[in-house]
Amino acid sequence: MKRFQLLHPSFAWSTRLLMLWALLAGTTGLQAQRILTLDSCLHMALSNNKQLGAAKIKQEMSKNLRKSARTKYLPHVNMVGGYLFSSKEVSILSDQQKQHFSNLGSNMQHYMNSMGGSIGGLEAILNAEGAGIVDGFHTNTRHIFAGSVMATMPLYMGGSITAMNKMADLGEEMAANSTEAVRQNTLYDTEQAYWMVVSLRNKQRLAESYLALIKKLNGDVQKMIAEGVATRSEGLSVEVKQNEAEMTLLQVNDGLTLAKMMLCQLCGIPVNENIELEDEKSDKTTNTTLTLTTDLNSTAENTWHTMRPELRMLQNTIDMGHQTTRMAKAGYLPKVMLTGSYSMTNPNVYNGFQREFAGIWNIGVLVCVPVFNWGDVTYKVRASKNATAMAQMELDEAREKVDLQVSQSTFKVSEAEKKLALAKTSCKRAEENLRCANIGFREGVMQSTTVMEAQTAWLQAHSQKIDAEIELILSRTNLKKAKGILQ
């Protein structure tokens, strides 16, 4: 070998490059194909489902609304400030009074002159004092600055705040139930897609086995035609069956590709990714799965009324209707609020309108008593009660439908178990029939048409067995979803 490498060094490098390329290609192929189990598919579907993400956001929104409703019990503080410019200021004195005070000394002198007396130098002094009085009453209110801090706390609101908080709690619970409903639907759809892929993969292997049987029979018939012990017509019949088997295999392959694409879309992975399911590796789809299935009969009768998220949502609607009625009835009752505030103004209205900020605080109780509203509250109460009655009827109808759905699903499980038992028996008989037909054909006592009939029966029996296995799994899934215990 060393001598050959010395003579042909390019051969050694080419061999190494080919080995390295094969190793990389094998590694890439391993990385490209992803092995998925049912649990991993369900986990990815829950993590990537857009509707479930939106439901969780809605649940978080309901939680914040519930926290907002709690604040209605607490005092609220507001701050208000403003500036006002007026074309005229507020005047305490009239123009006539201003003129009278400004001429107080002159008016006094005029009066004394009419009486034959005189006030002498007091005239100017009195005029100045009168002008001072007029100036003292000057408000200077063309520029007004004002601010206030006010606190209000409800003492009694007729039960409306309590009803509002209970509605917020029910809204959060309803959002959680809605999220659970979306979660169970996601699990249900994913399981359906998963077992569809497994079913088609088993049918693909079955179609390949059937095609191999037909090809072997075709080869035997062609040899018999060449030896003159079979007719051309028999050969054509076998070739037609082979073409049908190839077409069936092609359809199964296309269906399997589309089913995997749908499963990838549900799991949030690229639809063209090469995936393989753990349950594809075995022909026995139910032996490993059904042993892990929860005992569905352990659920107490009618407990699904409290487990189905759809029924819990309807019950939440009824409870919210009762609280809506309570809020409407609060319109009949008085409302009492405690108020307190601190206000500031400039000019200072409490000290001669001086240009300075000054404030005052106050505290009080506000009572509002409804007297007459043309029956508005009565109509609202009646409408709320009507809506609650409608929701109760919907809940009663939904419970009846759920009871029927559970009964039907239970019957389907029992029926699927019987179908699977019959399908297994049919497979054993079909295999024995095919074995006998092959022996008879080799011994020359049976025709090729008999073998083809046995092969067709074998194909149908095994196909029915696959369908029965998948139907049993899905029927149990349907029953778990009907009872609200799909996990």
Q: What are phi and psi of 294, to 5 degrees?
A: -65, 145
Percent of the chain with pLDDT over 90: 54
Nearest Cα to Cα of residue 316 among 180, 160, 178? 178
> Residue 8: what are its φ and ψ, rounded to 5°?
-130, 80
Low-confidence winner among 126-140, 216-230, 250-264 (lowest mean pLDDT): 126-140
Query: Is a pLDDT exceeding 50 seen at residue 129?
Result: yes
Tell me, what's the pLDDT at 369? 92
Output the DSSP codes for 58-109. HHHHHHHHHHHHHGGGS-EEEEEEEEEE-SS--BSS-HHHHHHHHTHHHHHH
DSSP 198-228: HHHHHHHHHHHHHHHHHHHHHHHHHHHHHHT
Question: Over 90: is that where the pLDDT of 387 sits?
Answer: yes
pLDDT over 90 (residue 60):
yes
Of 474 and 294, more confident:
474
Average pLDDT for the chain: 84
Task: Quote the pLDDT of residue 302.
Answer: 55
pLDDT(173) > 80:
yes
pLDDT level of residue 80 (50, 70, 90 thresholds) = very high
Token pair for residue 457? 């029966």
Residue 116: per-residue pLDDT:
65
Residues forming beta bridges with residue 358, ordered by sequence position:
345
List the one residue out of 487, 422, 435 whose CA is nearest residue 461: 422
SS (H, E, C) 268-290: CCCCCCCEEEHHHHCCCCCCCCH
Mean pLDDT, range 146-157, rounded to an integer: 93
Task: Please determine, for residue 357, whether its predicted confidence score (pLDDT) is greater than 60.
Answer: yes
What distances in angstroms separate CA 178 from CA 41, 173, 317, 378, one per listed residue? 22, 9, 12, 33
What is the C-alpha to C-alpha distance for residues 342 and 147, in angstroms, rounded to an integer?
8
Q: What is the C-alpha separation between 456 and 207, in angstroms, rounded?
A: 11
Angle between the N-to-C axes of helices 104-114 and 95-102, in degrees from 0 to 180, rounded to the nearest 10 = 70
